[in-house]
């Protein structure tokens, strides 16, 4: 997992203020233009005329401005929602496995580039079902202990980059992914199941781009390749593979290799069927 830089979340009031300032700047430009047209002297009626025209006949630049900042407000609201939804430490650690695919603050979702943040509830539920409640709770406790320890060590300078970069965090992710690999022995069946789980738990949205986005076959592979990508790279080394087998058992590593073979074959089958 790569460490993320801290970013300042711009809230709704800041976005509205920025939009207002840009609109004022455009209006000021129109007033200056009219002043030049009449030789520098602008009367109160002239100012009123310019302002009224500005309000009733917004040009394409102004219309685009309003749409741009409306999109930013939507993104800010959804970002706040998911920040709250991911307050649980273990869940946040697991979502980090594909966070590079989620739209960042102010970004609109792009097909082929992004996964929607709305897949998070279904992804977490799928993890819970594959891990089982007791195991899931145990990993939640481990993640909580790790975060509390790092908070105590770093104090006010603590950021989640410390968590993501800590070897204990990486071990947690590794253990979870290897433990669930055997569930993917029938890749097509598991793909259909995960798509159904995610789709059934995607929250509604007011964002038009999000409304047109769905979690399908291609997005399943995008998600899986991101989540399991680091382990795929590890298995390319015979020495690293032997270490994984020692730590987790040969049977689990064979299941992991079966998962990767299954992903490759399933993607080929989908492409042959014209579904990718």
Q: How confident is the model at residue 81 (pLDDT cuts 50, 70, 90)?
A: low
Q: Read off the pTM.
A: 0.69
pLDDT in tens, 113-136: 899 999 999 999 999 999 999 999
Contact 66, 16 (CB under 8 A): no
pLDDT(3) > 70: no
Q: Predicted confidence band at 7 (pLDDT cuts at 50, 70, 90)? A: very low
Nearest one of 109, 123, 127, 111 to 205, comparing CA atoms? 109
Give the pair of three-digit tokens for residue 207.
């964002």
Confidence of residue 77 (pLDDT cuts 50, 70, 90): low
Answer whether 127's CB lies under 8 Å from 94's CB. Answer: yes
Q: How confident is the model at residue 86, as a pLDDT?
A: 46
pLDDT band at 71 (very low <50, low <70, confident <90, very high): confident
As a whole number, the mean pLDDT across the chain is 86
pLDDT at 249: 97
Q: What percent of the chain has pLDDT over 70?
A: 88
- The average pLDDT across 248-262 equals 98
Decide if pLDDT at 192 tops 90.
Answer: yes
Give me the mean pLDDT over the 46-56 stretch.
Answer: 74
pLDDT at 273: 96
């Amino acid at each position: 997992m790569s460490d993320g830089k801290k970013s300042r979340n711009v809230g709704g009031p800041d976005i509205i203020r920025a939009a207002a300032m840009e609109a004022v700047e455009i209006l000021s430009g129109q007033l200056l233009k009219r002043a030049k047209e009449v030789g520098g002297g602008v009367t109160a009626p002239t100012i009123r005329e310019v302002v009224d025209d500005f309000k009733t006949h917004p040009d394409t630049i102004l219309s685009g401005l309003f749409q741009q900042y409306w999109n930013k407000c939507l993104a800010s609201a959804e970002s706040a929602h998911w920040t709250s939804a991911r307050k649980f430490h273990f869940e946040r650690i697991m979502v980090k496995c594909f966070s590079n695919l989620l739209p960042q603050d102010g970004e609109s979702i792009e097909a082929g580039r992004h996964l929607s943040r709305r897949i998070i509830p279904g992804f977490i539920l799928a993890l819970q079902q594959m891990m089982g409640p007791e195991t899931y709770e145990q990993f939640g406790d481990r993640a909580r202990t790790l975060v509390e320890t790092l908070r105590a060590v770093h104090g006010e300078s603590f950021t989640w980059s410390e968590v993501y970069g800590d070897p204990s965090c990486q071990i947690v992710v590794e253990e979870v992914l290897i433990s669930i690999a055997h569930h993917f022995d029938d890749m097509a069946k598991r793909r259909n199941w995960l798509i159904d789980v995610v789709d059934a738990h995607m929250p509604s949205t007011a964002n038009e781009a999000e409304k047109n986005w769905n979690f399908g076959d291609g997005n399943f592979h995008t998600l899986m390749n991101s989540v399991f990508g680091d382990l795929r790279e590890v298995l390319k080394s015979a020495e690293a593979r032997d270490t994984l087998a020692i730590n987790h058992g040969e049977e689990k590593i064979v299941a992991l290799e079966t998962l990767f073979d299954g992903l490759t074959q399933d993607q080929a089958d989908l492409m042959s069927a014209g579904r990718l």
